Structure 1
Amino acid sequence: MALIANRDAILDLKNPTTPMIFLDPQAAQLVVPVQYIIVASVAIMIWDIMNNFLVDVRLSRQWKRSYMTIIFIVSRFTGFAFLFTDLLLIVSAPGNCTALAKITCSFFVVNRSCISLIFYTRVYAVYRRSNAIKIVFGFLWLLVVGGAALSLVDGTSVPLGPDGYCVTYFTRPKLLVITAATEAVYDLMVCIAVTYRIRRAGFSTHVPEHSGSITSKIRYFFMRRTSGQKISERVLQDSQIYFVITALIKIPEIVIIVLYATGVETASIIQVALAFPDAVVVNVIATKVYRNLKLGLPGLYPVAAQTSEELELSTLMVKGPENFHNRAIRHQPHPPRHPPVPNPFPSIPESLRSGADIVSGNTESQV
């Protein structure tokens, strides 16, 4: 039994090496649930990596032909590295807490920058003839990078007790609301921009633009089927539903940090607890979208596309940004494997060549 000073009180403890005694009571109650959340998040990330390992290796072999493949590989590595190093920082005693915290935050910044860049290139591909759109979304991408860099500036870690355990905290935790807000706005803007382009290019032959009320157009959007699918289903496939999911994650994260986080330690623990599930969802879904588009798996458009603009847009989404300026990229119908055999008897009716009328006894057509 020993006497250990905890702020202004002298505590008589049986276990003087318990690191929880150096935290506020409210923060100490959150540590154990947060540790379970972190372990579960890392397990999900490992499962996703193992489940898609062969496909990712197949993509990795194309790194010399596409710099976007390099960004994809970096995003996969930094996503797992961020989760794993943060896990070590919380559940182990690494010793140098500050250095490991800076490494963890660096992985986070690089990971979010790569993922947001992947989706910037999608906007670039869709609006490749609009310099204004590309400049606006390039500026938004820089805002996302700057928001993620706030964690590198504001986040740190200090030893917790004599055993070398660490506690991660942010000196101004509510400042990280900017990080979540910039990502939410960016994802929402990309979703609106790509959806609008798909709506204009892919469904211009199906949806009446200047007829009917707004209500009828909305009903047409959600109910009318083209190529065996509802228009809304095709718009929300893969990448578009990704933006909806990330928006749903960011909004509760912002609300919880702003309204329910009291004190630096409590707010920091809540921020870490929310950052792990968010990082897993963002990495899993974002890499799935790129993987499907790059390999031509079921994605934004069904196989039976209708218009040439729709086919060109689908090609751009699959081929990636290295083909932005190739104006000849289009899905052309495959030529026939064998040329048609010419008619050796052009003057003889088809019925006589086949013998159908002779067999049936119809002799009038033979004259």
Structure 2
Amino acid sequence: MANNSSLSDVFAQQLNPLTPMAFLPPDIGYQSTIAAYIMVGTVGALIWDILTNVDSDYKLLFRHKISIPTGTYFLSRASVLVYVLVNVIFQTAALPNCHVIKKTVCVLYHVAFSSTSLLFFLRVRAIFNQNRFAVAFFFLLWLGVLGGSLTVATVGNAIHLGPTDYCKATAIKLYASAAPITFAVNDTFVFLAISWRLLMNAPLDPDHKAGFNHVVLGKYLPAFSRALLQDGQVYYLVSVTSNIIVVSLTWAHTVPLAYKLMFTVFNVALTNMMACRVYRHTKFGDFREDAISTRRIASQLGRLDLQGGLAGQGMQFAPHSVNVNSQRSSSDGTRTHKVTIGDVEAVQPRSTEKLQLTRTKGTDADSEV
């Protein structure tokens, strides 16, 4: 008994009071170290994403009109960057007041989540701008995210590790899980709604029924529709998956707290990078939400009988320039309709309801819609 006591005294004397890990059990110390590494890597990835898009951000700020979506974009970008940086500082640096820093982290979480979610809402509003009920529904979902993230802003707390100035987060209240849950629900509905809208505006092979492969993967869709779906939606699908993982970890009692906080920080950064990437691509025309309604115009024009007074005449449809011409082949007498929408040219034989689309500039690829 005396030997055990003496060994404990010797071990206690060998502890370095300046090393915070010495005041944690070995397993928790290991988990905290891994979490710190992942957070530092997350900061690096986020900064790299910002630096690689400096040119696009400069154009948004100085060459485009500053609008509410653009302001939301920069607010989201800045708040997420500060949120991740403060988390890394909290995890790795000696701080005089852990409680204040942790409260700051939680408030930044609220701002970052709410502004990123607002980018999701602004995109879905642009697509469903003619449907007030859909816009109202997604606005309510965004308000749910706003309220859910407020729960985190009210529960954050931290303590010092022993006599050191390093910090350790305390357990989070269970009701704070409302934040990732509402965000995951919002992301999922946005993803499915936009996928459904693309599906409804695309002519499908009648031999295939609408299902998971159509809505999520775009399988059996024509190439042009599938490109719209995959180019824009793949980023939201990544965000949805990441948020579902966060929700699962929140309710998994066997997952250490350090890992939960680590993946929360990673998820905020990843979701923001995906949402901002979609916004930039949409703003600069790499893929456009209004292409959906434009394609509906093309599809409907392709079904018109243009043999009468419209033959050989141009027609203008806002917001794109749409020209419709009809001509008869000298060889077999077949009448062909040609619809030009912006830089996209569609040719429709009289005998079919499918449009053959070719871009007149920017690409040599042919697509079928």
TM-score (norm 2): 0.71
Counterpart position of 2:68? 67
Kindly indicate whether residue 209 of structure 2 is the aligned counterpart of residue 214 of structure 1.
yes
Kindly indicate whether residue 263 of structure 2 is the aligned counterpart of residue 274 of structure 1.
yes
Residue 104 of structure 2 aligns to a residue whose secondary structure is helix
Change (3 A) 1:51 1:310: farther
TM-fit CA distance, 1:225: 5.7
TM-fit CA distance, 1:166: 1.1
Bigger-Rg structure (1/2): 1
TM-fit CA distance, 1:53: 0.9
Alignment of 1:50-129 (within 5 A): 50-61=51-62, 65-129=66-130
Change (3 A) 1:164 1:246: same
Cα distance in 2 for residues equivalent to 1:333 and 1:48: 37
Cα distance in 2 for residues equivalent to 1:81 and 1:142: 23
Cα distance in 1 for residues equivalent to 2:158 and 2:40: 19
- One-letter amino acid of the counterpart of residue 169, structure 1: T
Q: Contact 1:237 / 1:300 at 8 angstroms: preserved in 2?
A: no
Counterpart position of 1:132? 133
Cα distance in 1 for residues equivalent to 2:239 and 2:228: 19
TM-fit CA distance, 1:120: 0.8
TM-fit CA distance, 1:278: 0.9
Residue 170 of structure 2 aligns to a residue whose secondary structure is strand
Residue 95 of structure 2 aligns to a residue whose secondary structure is coil
Change (3 A) 1:79 1:149: same
Change (3 A) 1:225 1:251: closer
Counterpart position of 2:236? 243
Cα distance in 2 for residues equivalent to 1:216 and 1:181: 25
Q: How many aligned positions are there?
A: 296
Deviation readout 1:202-227 (Å, 9 max, x if unpaired): x1xx226xx5563799679855463x
- One-letter amino acid of the counterpart of residue 186, structure 1: N
Counterpart position of 1:32? 33
Instruction: Please identify, of 271-280 and 287-296, the stretch whose mean Cα deviation from structure 2 is larger.
Output: 271-280
Residue 154 of structure 2 aligns to a residue whose secondary structure is helix
Deviation readout 1:328-353 (Å, 9 max, x if unpaired): 84111489xxxxxxxxxxxxxxxxxx
TM-fit CA distance, 1:61: 2.1
TM-fit CA distance, 1:260: 4.2
Cα distance in 2 for residues equivalent to 1:155 and 1:24: 23
Cα distance in 2 for residues equivalent to 1:15 and 1:217: 58
Counterpart position of 1:330? 319
TM-fit CA distance, 1:285: 1.1
Q: Contact 1:120 / 1:137 at 8 angstroms: preserved in 2?
A: yes
Deviation readout 1:253-274 (Å, 9 max, x if unpaired): 3333322446xxx42x122111
Q: Contact 2:235 / 2:274 at 8 angstroms: preserved in 1?
A: yes
Change (3 A) 1:223 1:70: closer
Cα distance in 1 for residues equivalent to 2:212 and 2:30: 52
Residue 170 of structure 1 aligns to a residue whose secondary structure is coil
Alignment of 1:132-281 (within 5 A): 132-172=133-173, 174-201=174-201, 203=202, 206-207=203-204, 212=207, 214=209, 222-224=218-220, 226=222, 229=223, 231-238=225-232, 240-261=233-254, 266-267=256-257, 269-281=258-270
Residue 167 of structure 1 aligns to a residue whose secondary structure is strand
Q: Contact 2:124 / 2:190 at 8 angstroms: preserved in 1?
A: yes
Cα distance in 1 for residues equivalent to 2:105 and 2:266: 16
TM-fit CA distance, 1:63: 7.0
Q: Contact 1:97 / 1:157 at 8 angstroms: preserved in 2?
A: yes
TM-fit CA distance, 1:17: 2.7
TM-fit CA distance, 1:307: 3.9
Counterpart position of 1:338? none
- One-letter amino acid of the counterpart of residue 120, structure 1: F
Residue 285 of structure 1 aligns to a residue whose secondary structure is helix
Kindly indicate whether residue 274 of structure 2 is the aligned counterpart of residue 285 of structure 1.
yes
Q: Contact 1:60 / 1:70 at 8 angstroms: preserved in 2?
A: no
Cα RMSD after superposing both structures: 3.1
Q: Which structure 2 residue ranges, 5 or more long, are not aligned?
A: 1-10, 301-316, 325-369
Q: Contact 2:94 / 2:167 at 8 angstroms: preserved in 1?
A: yes
Counterpart position of 1:348? none
Cα distance in 1 for residues equivalent to 2:245 and 2:200: 32
Cα distance in 1 for residues equivalent to 2:212 and 2:249: 37
Change (3 A) 1:223 1:118: closer
- One-letter amino acid of the counterpart of residue 95, structure 1: P
Residue 116 of structure 1 aligns to a residue whose secondary structure is helix
Higher RCO (CA 8 Å, separation ≥ 6 residues): 1
Change (3 A) 1:179 1:24: farther
Cα distance in 1 for residues equivalent to 2:263 and 2:119: 23
Q: Which structure 1 residue ranges, 5 or more long, are not aligned?
A: 1-9, 312-327, 336-367
Q: Percent identity?
A: 23
